[in-house]
Amino acid sequence: FSQMEKKTAEVNLTSVTEFVLLGFSDIPNLQMFLFVIFLFVYVIILMGNGIIVLIVRVDQALQTPMYFFLSNFSFLEICFVSVTLPRMLTNLWTQKRNISLFACATQMSFVLTLGNIECLLLTVMAYDRYVAICNPLHYLLVMNHKVCVQMVVACWITGVPVETGQTYQIFSLPFCGSNQINHFFCDIPPLLKLACGDTFLNEMLVFTVAVLFVTIPFLLILGSYIKIISTILRLPSATGRTKAFSTCSSHITVVVMFFGSAIITYLRPKSKHSSRADKFLSLFYTIVTPMFNPMIYTLRNKDAMMALRKLLP
The pLDDT tens digits for 69-81 are 999 999 999 999 9
CA distance 233 to 12: 63
Tell me what pLDDT residue 109 has.
Answer: 96
Q: Facing residues of 157 across strands? A: none
Tell me what pLDDT residue 313 has.
Answer: 65
Tell me what pLDDT residue 299 has.
Answer: 64
φ, ψ for residue 20 (rounded to 5)? Answer: -120, 120
φ, ψ for residue 249 (rounded to 5)? Answer: -60, -40
Q: What is the CA radius of gyration of the chain?
A: 22
The CA angle 170-172-177, to the nearest 5 degrees, is 85
Mean pLDDT of the chain: 86
30-39, 227-236, 259-268: which range is least confident on average? 259-268
Ranges of H-type helices in the chain? 2-15, 31-58, 65-94, 101-134, 139-142, 145-171, 188-194, 200-210, 216-233, 238-267, 275-283, 289-299, 302-311
Q: pLDDT above 70 covers what percent of the chain? A: 93
* Choice between 268 and 32, residue whose per-residue pLDDT is larger: 32
The CA angle 143-151-264, to the nearest 5 degrees, is 115
Q: Are 163 and 210 in contact (CB under 8 A)?
A: no
